[in-house]
Amino acid sequence: MRAVVLLSGGLDSYTAAAIAKAEGFSLFALTIHYGQRHAREVDAARAVARALGVERHLELEVDLRPIGGSSLTSDAAVPHGRNLDAPGIPSTYVPARNTIFLSLALGWAEVVGAHDLVIGVNALDYSGYPDCRPEFVAAFERLATLATRAGIDGARFRVHTPLIALSKAEIVRRGLELGLDYGLTHSCYDPGPDGRPCGTCDSCVLRARGFDEAGVPDPVLLR
């Protein structure tokens, strides 16, 4: 059975894809180049797709910079050393990003005959983004069926979020059980010119916390 999986090159989407593969899905990986600052992520997505042995890896150009509204898609500075428990939505939130990405995944799924979408969103150790919440995912699942041939043919779309209830440490442990090489991944929002993670953006801090609590070193930092 085919599944379209959103693959960013980060730790979460790699793990979500691997869990779907372990469940028996044949993977159709979709990476969106949305003009994010960390193009390093795109190289990681290719490496991860190869490691997963995906059936196909489609890369789409959807530049969201003309829309802006995020420090990831504009010239605004990415925050460093932020208090992750501070209320509110951080500037790295990209307006409607997961909705846009899932919509594109939905389009491709119709073409390849998949009724399953996989996304590595996480509602525990995340950054307060509204489009990572279970109620968002449930609403998209319902929409997906109504939006497509499925809604007319009586089929049903499922959106799989295998990480949604896991802590970052649990995600890392699950991935290591599955034999994943996290050295291939890239999570940093604001890498240096050499592509190395900054260590102080939200994404780096959450990742470090995950490896720390899992009691294993992050292979990316051992290089």
Residue 143 half-sphere exposure toward CB, CA atoms < 13 A: 13
Take residue 72 and report the two structure tokens written for it: 């990831």
Binding segment toward a second copy, per CB under 8 A, in 16-24, 53-61, 201-209, 211-219: 53-61
Interface characters, 77-116, with a second copy (x: CB under 8 A): ------------x---xxxxxxxx-xxx-xxx-xx-----
Binding segment toward a second copy, per CB under 8 A, in 65-73, 165-173, 193-201, 208-216: 65-73
The candidate with the shortest Cα–Cα distance to 8, out of 211, 207, 212, is 207
Supply the angle between the helices 11-22 and 40-52 in degrees, to the nearest 10: 20
Cα 43 to chain centroid distance, Å, stands at 14
Q: How far is the CB of 72 from a second copy (least distance, A)?
A: 12
Size of the site for a second copy (CB under 8 A): 44
Across the beta sheet with 158-160, the strand order is 26-33, 2-6, 116-118, 158-160
Q: Which of 151, 195, 199, 216 binds a second copy (CB under 8 A)?
A: 151
Total residues found in the chain within this entry: 223
Q: Which residues pair with 32 in a beta bridge?
A: 60
User: 154: exposed, middle or buried (C-beta count within 10 Å: 0-12, 13-18, 19+)?
Assistant: exposed
Q: Which of 83, 152, 193, 194 binds a second copy (CB under 8 A)?
A: 152
Q: How far is the CB of 37 from a second copy (least distance, A)?
A: 17
Q: Which of 51, 67, 198, 216 binds a second copy (CB under 8 A)?
A: 67
Residue 54 in contact with a second copy, rule: CB under 8 A = no
Q: How far is the CB of 64 from a second copy (least distance, A)?
A: 7
Q: Which of 22, 62, 76, 155 binds a second copy (CB under 8 A)?
A: 62
The candidate with the shortest Cα–Cα distance to 201, out of 19, 41, 45, is 41
User: 85: exposed, middle or buried (C-beta count within 10 Å: 0-12, 13-18, 19+)?
Assistant: exposed
Q: How far is the CB of 191 from a second copy (least distance, A)?
A: 24
Q: How far is the CB of 145 from a second copy (least distance, A)?
A: 9
Q: How far is the CB of 85 from a second copy (least distance, A)?
A: 16
Residues contributing to the site for a second copy (CB under 8 A) = 58-64, 66-69, 89, 93-100, 102-104, 106-108, 110-111, 130-131, 133, 135-136, 139-140, 142-144, 146-149, 151-152
